[in-house]
Every structure is written in structure tokens, then in C-alpha cells.
Structure 1
Amino acid sequence: MHISDGVLPISVAVSGYIAATALTAWSARRTKSSDLPKLAVVTAAFFVASLIHIPFGPTSVHLLIPGITGALLGPSAFLSIGLGLLLQSLLFQFGGLTALGANTLMMGIPALICGWFFHKFKGDNIMRQTITGGLVGAGGTAMAAIILAALLFTGGEDFVGVAKIALAAHGPVIIIEGLISAFTIRFLARVKPELLQLSFKDRAEETHA
């Protein structure tokens, strides 16, 4: 799901960088120093999970875990995904540096939405948390696939076919991510429920509270 250099028009790539930079700053501002160990672990999980690519025609698919990332990190999820994608681009040439902003938006925005949704509707019941976890796991990947297709469409007619194939190829991944997310959230709810407790307040707001 990583977009490479030369695919996106310059205007889209630049706009992606501007939006991603703003959201990264917003995400960093809402990241407490006490959250850094968890952020590092989740970023490492995202980094490894999305390194394993399965070829599918002219494109490839891999795990994304934006749902789990959002559920565990909340507002810090965008920063986590941005760091993971930057390291992948520099170390393994997965995704282009010129498309880094767009790639971060593609996976980071679904993570933020999933984080908000999970903590809004998870409740205190383990079964409800499991179901909500499965929904955000599947929903996050579905949103990322839709954003990917939309971005590829901006690349011109040469990428329209690739966009359609990429969207269809992520159907099984959506189901798999939903199951993985449900299992992970259920496990954490049983053994480490405090990991699922987050505040969506601005750090500055908490300081003045």
C-alpha cells in the first residue's frame, strides 16, 4: 500500500506533505512523555507488520494495523505511523520520500478516526471492546484502501487500473485485520486493560485543568 516516487502529481505530493506535517505536529503535541514507551512499541509493530508484502498483480498487499494503532495510541497514532513510514522509506525504500506525506495521510487519518471511534464506543464490557476492536481493525484498513485508490486516481489514466486492483485486493486484508484487531483488543482487555485507557484532551488543556 506504499505509494512510490513518481506516481502522484507534484501538487498532490506537496499538499500531502503540508497536511501530514500539520497533523504530525498536532499529534506530537498531544503525546505525553509517559506515552513514549507505548508509542515506540506500537510503532515497531506497525513497522514490522507492513514490511511483509504479498504480490497481487501490479500491486501488493500487507497488514496495515491502523485500527490497533489508533485504539492503543489515540491522537499519538498519526505520529507513530509517520515515524514508521519514514523509517521504512529510508531503510528499505518502501514508498517514496516524495510520497511520504500522502502515505502518512493514507494510513494516519484512518488510525485517528479509528482511535476516536474505539474510545467513544468501547464501553467497559470485554465483549463490546472486542467487537469494537474488530470494527476499527477492519474499518481502518478499508478507509486506507479507499484513500489509496483515490490517490492513485490522481496519478492519471495509467494508474486507474492499478487503483481498482489495489482496492479489490485489500478485501481479504480487511477481514484478516478485523479478526487480528478483535483478538488483540480482547487479549489486552483481559491482561492489561489500562493500555486501552486514553485521554483525547490536548496536553495544554490538561496542564491548565
Structure 2
Amino acid sequence: MHLSEGVLHSQTLIIGAVTAIIGLSIGLRKTEYARLPLTALFAAAFFVAGTIHIPVGIGSVHLILNGMAGLFLGWSVFPAFLIALLLQVLFFSFGGFAVLGVNLCIMALPAVLVHYLLGRALHGGNAKAKLALIGALAGIIGVGGAALLASALLAFDGGKDYYDLIFLLLISHLPVFIVDALISSAVIVTLAKMYPHILLRPQPETSV
């Protein structure tokens, strides 16, 4: 979900930018050369998922797939998502440069949370039902976390003036919970079947 330019005040944009820079520094430090192809794969998936979107109020509704990416990438979602968001701004004018840090945090922070909550379970076995459940939870937590974080930022920035927009944002993303969860489940089960070595990497990361 991309928040539009001209909506948030400067102090909120600064907080978002600083948080994004911190996340990027951690993500770049933790990104391993051997994992670059996987990072690029999820960056591309995130980019494509976000290109088909429907404007809703001061944001937009679209697939995110951030939870699925967070499972495998951890903090590396920050540089991966940054590239995708930059391309979306340049090619499609989604969001904007001023709000780039805020949008990056909205997408990436829930993905990191998914990594720490579910990453170890993902790499603890390859039972199909278990992987499908992990994928569904990743989709729900990723989308839900992004929606809640965006809502919290709007409430912090605009207070009661944004309450109606926050309600619209949350309601409009209910279908995304379902679709994102289904796609994440299918993709993770397929990846585990075709590339089982992906599940061999110990997760989650234990330090920042």
C-alpha cells in the first residue's frame, strides 16, 4: 500500500526516512552474496505485485507479498523493497520520493516481523500442510502489519481528520489478506518442492 505525497507532515516523513535508513544499513550488512539471486527474485515479485493497484483514498490497494519475502530474506527486504519502490515511483508514479522512506517502512517492517515469527518454523521441515499454513500466516501478518502500520502513521500525523480514511484503508485491504495468503502458500509450497535447498538455511537471524 503506497501512501501518497502531500499527505503526511514533514516530521512524519523524517521519522520514516530515518527508520528506513537504519533498516537499509542493517539489510545491506546482512545481505550475503550467495543470496542475491533469491533477493532479486523477491524484489521482482514485490515490484510486479504492486504494479496492479487500485487507488483508495490517500493510499492504494494491491498485492504486497511482503510476508513471503520476509520469510526468506529477513532484513534484506529493506534494500530489495527499496529498489522495487524506486522503480514504481519512476515508472508509474506510485507513492513519491518524499514518502519513499515511509512506504518502505510500511512494507518492510512487517516483513521482518514475519521473518522472526515464522522463519525458524519454515526451515524446520518440509511437510506440505505445514508450509501452506506458514505461507498463509506470512501473507496475513505481512498485509495486516502493513495496514496497521500505515493506519498508525496516519493517526499519528492527522488524528481525527484521517479516521474515515483509515477505516477505508483497513476495509479495502480485507480481500488482500485472503489473496496474499493464498498466493504466499502456493509459492512457498512450490519453492519447497522445486528448490528444497532453500529451506536448509538456518532461520531466523538472531542479531541486528
State the TM-score, normalized to the length of structure 1.
0.89
Query: Which residue matches 2:146?
Result: 144
Q: For residues 51 and 13 of structure 1, what CA distance do their matches in structure 2 show?
A: 23
Q: For residues 82 and 202 of structure 1, what CA distance do their matches in structure 2 show?
A: 23
Query: Which residue matches 2:136?
Result: 134
Cα pair 1:61 1:169 within 8 Å, conserved: yes
* 162 and 201 in structure 1: CA distance in 2 versus 1, 3 angstrom threshold: closer
Query: Which residue matches 2:35?
Result: 35
Q: Which runs of 5+ in 1 are unaligned?
A: none
| Shift of residue 190, structure 1, vs aligned partner | 1.3
The yes-or-no answer on 1:110 pairing with 2:110 is yes
* 99 and 58 in structure 1: CA distance in 2 versus 1, 3 angstrom threshold: closer
Q: Write the letter of the residue equivalent to 1:64.
A: I
Query: Which residue matches 1:159?
Result: 162
Moved more, 51-60 or 101-110: 51-60
Q: Deviations over 1:9-47 (max 9, x none)?
A: 111100110110011110110001111111112111111
Query: How high is the sequence identity, in percent, across the aligned residues?
Result: 36
| Shift of residue 141, structure 1, vs aligned partner | 0.4
Write the mapping of 1:17-166 to structure 2, written as runs, cut at 5 A: 17-56=17-56, 59-122=59-122, 123-124=124-125, 125-156=127-158, 157-166=160-169
Q: For residues 56 and 97 of structure 1, what CA distance do their matches in structure 2 show?
A: 19
* TM-align CA RMSD: 2.0
State the TM-score, normalized to the length of structure 2.
0.90
Q: Which runs of 5+ in 2 are unaligned?
A: none
Q: For residues 59 and 15 of structure 1, what CA distance do their matches in structure 2 show?
A: 19
Cα pair 1:39 1:73 within 8 Å, conserved: yes
Q: For residues 147 and 197 of structure 1, what CA distance do their matches in structure 2 show?
A: 32
Q: For residues 200 and 140 of structure 2, what CA distance do their matches in structure 1 show?
A: 21
Query: Which residue matches 1:176?
Result: 179
Q: Deviations over 1:134-173 (max 9, x none)?
A: 1111111011011111122234244321111001111110
Cα pair 1:142 1:174 within 8 Å, conserved: yes
